[in-house]
Structure 1
Amino acid sequence: MTTPPPDDEPDYRFTLANERTYLAYLRTSLACYAGGLSAVQFLDLGGARWLARVIGVVLVTAGIVTTAGAFRRWQVNLSAMRQGARLPVTRLPLMLGATVAVVGLIGLLLSLLR
């Protein structure tokens, strides 16, 4: 029975690129938090306060998911690089892009119908 090779330290440039990606996700999640809280506080839809709250909850939830997913992705990528394995595929960008697009479209429609 062969033992697995010890974890090798990857090229520092890949490690730093992985960290920059992680930080970019954190900036994006911060923007989701700010947008969600701003929607609840400042979005004026007449008597439909519930819609502003829904938009806020969706954006803050997307921020939470992005924060957790970014940390997990950073860990998994670092582990894969150290083991010389392929980097795993993630659906985090798809989820984030779809959420922002849908919320943006709703915001656009609400502003046009006002």
Structure 2
Amino acid sequence: MTSPIDEEPDYRFTLANERTYLAYLRTSLACYAGGLSAVQFLDLGPDRWPAKIIGIVLVIAGIVTTAGAFRRWQANLRAMRAGASLPVTRLPLMLGATIAVVGLIGLLFSLWR
């Protein structure tokens, strides 16, 4: 007799979970690229500290997204195997808020300059 934890979920759900995980990884790569590009190419003042702040925030958001995506993928897989509800995540809210704040900071410093 098998326990619910040993049951494999429908492969379509497993693959959808994997696609979501990969989408988060692409988003984290975009954060890394945007952060490094901001530090390299943005000229928002003589000492460039606004560009450095934007770059640091975006790279940290990428790191958090990478770690959060892996944790979410694992938690979803465990929940599916147990036949439980999928856990709630705040990762999309964090990403959306971070990107909005960084965009606003960039806009403000571009107008201020």
Indicate whether the TM-score tops 0.5: yes
Deviations 1:80-104 (A, max 9, x none): 0001011000111111110001001
Percent sequence identity over aligned pairs: 85
Structure with the bigger RCO (C-alpha within 8 Å, sep 6+) is 2
SS of 1:9 mapped into structure 2: coil
Query: What TM-score, normalized by structure 1, do the two folds share?
Result: 0.92
Deviation of the 1:6 alpha carbon: 4.4
2:80 aligned with 1:81? yes
**What RMSD over aligned residues (CA atoms) do the two structures have, in Å?**
1.4
Runs of 4+ in 1 over 4 A off after TM superposition: none
Deviations 1:43-90 (A, max 9, x none): 101313121111110000000000000000000000100010110001
Counterpart Cα distance in 2 of 1:9 and 1:65 = 29
* Structure 2 counterpart of 1:68: 67
CA contact (8 A) 2:4 2:81 kept: no
2:27 aligned with 1:25? no
Gaps of 5+ in 2: none
Counterpart Cα distance in 1 of 2:13 and 2:103 = 33
Counterpart Cα distance in 2 of 1:109 and 1:39 = 15
- Output aligned runs, 1:1-114, within 5 Å: 4-114=3-113
